[in-house]
A and B are shown apart, each in its own frame.
Chain A
Amino acid sequence: MLSLLSVFGVSLVFAFTTVTFMTDWTGPELQVITSIANQFNSIQNEYKVKIVSVSNIAEKFLTSLAAGNPPDILHANHQYIAPLVAMGAVESIDDITKYGLNLKEYREEVLKSAEYHGHLYAVPMKLDIFGLFWNKNLFKKAGLNPNDPPLTLKELKEYAKKLTEYDSNGNIKVLGFDPGYNSKWTWSHVWPYYFGGTLINEKTGAITANSSLCIESYEWLRGLSKMYGSEKQLEKFVGGYGPYWSNSNPFVSGKVAMTFGGDWIAKIIDIYNPKMEWGFAPFPSAKGKLMAYTEIDMAVIPKGAKHMKGAKEFMAFVAKPKNLLKFLTPVPVLKKEYVEKYENAIVPYPHRNLFVKIFQKVHLFFAPTTPVWQKYDALLKDALLNILFLRTSPQVALNNVQMKMKRALEMMGR
């Protein structure tokens, strides 16, 4: 009897199904999801989640997808959902509420971004908020109130002008505002939205790169560059930028007085220049509405995943508020009430209060939802950099983008 029981017990132990979760998280962020997975594994016997961390997730994912053994869960940012759906590469997860996931806990805009064409495709996990960072010391030096960030686009330009300094040779020494001169750290798709425009027609999905508001937004940015100097002066200044995560980060080292970026800039400051006095505010919008660009890390289920049930179980588990609050970000994806309800579960995070205060007040917006996101992003980035470095006009550049996007869609057979 005892031997039979022990055999039964042993076979139970070996009866679990492995559910793979592919992500490009490393370091501390990887530890968070791993600990959530470990917890999940310990409280039930049916599934064992294995976190697979890879540095080049596109190559790895597409290769395994092609060979018919995709991971059961893929970590994908919101802008990849539409392309993946268009490729037929992800499953819809409308039934995930059956696994205990409470969709109502998510901030409305966040939940909406996980949907596409009426179906739910992803479980939001973590988000990053973007906005205007400014150097309070440089504000003081230029005679500006360090605690008053610019509230309108007009003010921002004026401040930028005051904050820009030149050396005796006419070279730019300090730049007032950097919207993204370095190609590796520029978000070219946010500006039309701050001007009240959009890059796609949300209803039809049509590309609207050269709509008047898009052109206006890029024209405003060009105005900034013209105000700063010539193409050569800008190239020389930007050529002096050091690596983003280092002491030579232009904002952290005081070469740039105001910059647009994600909440992680606070981390860079903490590591390399903790004594710096800085502020964070929503980037001003043309219509006066308080808005903030956001990027969301989500989990999706690839088509052909072998353990969909297990995947949904784990995703529902990750979506529990107490787990979502473990992620290393100052602003959670949850509605305010849920955050307050589970306050003890929140992981301490530097400057959380500052970001949360702003987070409560802003309307979140995301990258445009379009199946041709990657090409659009590449073309816009190229267009924006050409405009910022005064190589071309917004009209010409955006017309070009529009034309190329039309071609891209044709190539996709749309």
Chain B
Amino acid sequence: MKMRPHIRKLLVVLVLVFFAAIFAFPFYWMVITSFEPLKDFMKLPLVFFPRHFIPENYIRAIHYMPFFKYFLNSSWIAIMSTIGTTLTSSFVAYGFSKIKWPMRDLIFMITLATMMIPFVVLMIPLYIEFKSFGWIGSFKPLWVPAWFGSAWSIFFLRQFYMTIPSELVDAAKVDGASHLQIWFRIALPLTKPALSVVALFNFIWSWQSFLQPLVFLNNKDMYTLTLGLASFQQRHGGVEWNLLMAAATLATIPILIIFVFMNKYLIEGIHITSGLKG
């Protein structure tokens, strides 16, 4: 394109800002509705600021369901499964990338295959299995499997490990390093940013998960936030939308906090090898 650089840049900025606003809009609308009285819900014409500002919704939302308890439950599950997945997947992915061994690619394809079966048909046998372990009635079904790795995370990290220059690995081998040392001293630090992506995404998925907590948790004291949010819906009794929006907004706080923490990596970008050659 024969455009002056600063016009090109302006165009890019406009596009990015415009779409950022569009992407953020649903969330924004959710937050405004959380401050409105129920009787104003979806009143036409639609406005972008609450007609009546009712912060009490938040207090009522917290009392509608055991908010803090569910918050803690969700947190425990999300933190445990995120740590587990990230640690183990980073370990396993190395085995699929920097080491050459027979059947590696076959097992890797099997790994990918585990992502290809819809959970709904695995739900019942899994439940039966967890029951036989004695895990139904605890949080274990929701975070223990994560400690053995997850196909998505393994695949993702494998891709990043494979971009690590082989010269580095070879040099370390010449120096007599074992794979364990190479993984820990070289590969892991280099993929720190990729690890943060894995951690972030897994946290989000665990936090937002619905079907698994629904099926594997029996005790309502152990319910997660997503299940709690679902309890705002009544079949023929209506929904207190404003309270639901308030609860939903509160439920996003941990993810927002993590966004802030990931700030450094997400905003500055993630680079593995470009940091090497200076």
Contacts and interface: CB of A to CB of B under 8 A. Distances in A.
Interface stretch (B11-19, B39-47, B74-82, B160-168): B39-47
Interface stretch (B86-94, B146-154, B211-219): B211-219
Contacts of B220: 52-53
Given A26-B231, A55-B233, A67-B128, A243 B42 contact: yes
Contacts of A25: 234-235
B266 interface: no
Interface stretch (B109-117, B185-193, B236-244): B236-244
Contacts of A69: 131, 136
A268 B218 CA distance: 32
A59 B211 contact: yes
Contacts of B241: 245-246
A253 B41 CA distance: 12
A66 B127 contact: yes
B237 A28 contact: yes
Given A67-B124, A67-B128, A253-B44, A27 B214 contact: no
Contacts of B38: 271
B231 A55 contact: yes
A53 B228 CA distance: 10
A301 to B, nearest CB: 18
Given A247-B42, A271-B38, A27 B124 contact: no
B234 A29 contact: yes
A54 B214 contact: yes
Given A52-B220, A67-B128, A272-B39, A128 B236 contact: yes
A245 B238 CA distance: 6
A169 B154 CA distance: 58
Interface string A124-143: 00001000000000000000
Contacts of B218: 52, 64
Contacts of B238: 245, 264, 267-268, 271
Contact of A55 (B39, B227, B240): B227
A242 B230 CA distance: 20
Given A59-B123, A66-B127, A246-B41, A27 B230 contact: no
Contacts of A268: 238
Nearest to B64: A27
A62 interface: yes
Interface string B172-195: 000000000000000000000000
B131 A67 contact: yes
Contacts of B28: none
Which of the listed residues B127, B227, B232, B236 has the most CB atoms from chain A within 10 Å of its own CB?
B236
Contacts of B44: 242, 247-248, 253
Contacts, number: 87
A229 B136 CA distance: 56
A328 B235 CA distance: 13
Interface in A13-53: 24-29, 52-53
Contacts of B40: 247
Which of the listed residues B214, B233, B238 has the most CB atoms from chain A within 10 Å of its own CB?
B238
B210 to A, nearest CB: 8
Contact of A29 (B128, B136, B237, B239): B237
A27 B211 CA distance: 21
A248 B33 CA distance: 14
Contact of B214 (A59, A66, A262, A267): A59
A274 to B, nearest CB: 8
A69 B218 CA distance: 11
Nearest to B124: A66
Contacts of B123: 59, 63
A63 B215 contact: yes
Contact of B237 (A53, A55, A56, A264): A264
A68 B230 CA distance: 26
Contacts of A56: 211, 214, 230
B236 A262 contact: yes
Given A24-B235, A52-B218, A246-B241, A67 B41 contact: no
Contact of B239 (A53, A60, A62, A245): A245
Nearest to B240: A27
A39 to B, nearest CB: 20
A26 B234 contact: yes
Given A53-B220, A59-B214, A328-B237, A247 B43 contact: yes
Given A59-B211, A60-B214, A272 B233 contact: no
Contacts of B240: 27
Contact of A59 (B42, B136, B215, B234): B215
Given A56-B214, A264-B237, A27 B42 contact: no
Contacts of B43: 247-248
A63 B237 contact: no
Interface in B34-86: 38-44
Which of the listed residues B230, B234, B241 has the most CB atoms from chain A within 10 Å of its own CB?
B234
Contact of A27 (B41, B215, B232): B232
Nearest to B229: A55
29 contacts: A24-B235, A25-B234, A26-B231, A26-B232, A26-B234, A26-B237, A28-B234, A29-B237, A52-B218, A55-B231, A56-B211, A56-B214, A59-B211, A62-B124, A66-B124, A66-B128, A242-B42, A245-B238, A245-B239, A246-B42, A246-B241, A247-B41, A247-B42, A248-B42, A264-B237, A267-B237, A268-B238, A271-B38, A271-B39
Given A54-B214, A243-B42, A248-B43, 6 more contacts: A24-B235, A25-B235, A52-B220, A59-B215, A268-B238, A271-B39
The 6 A-B residue pairs whose C-beta atoms are closest, nearest first, are A246-B42, A55-B230, A247-B43, A248-B42, A264-B236, A245-B238
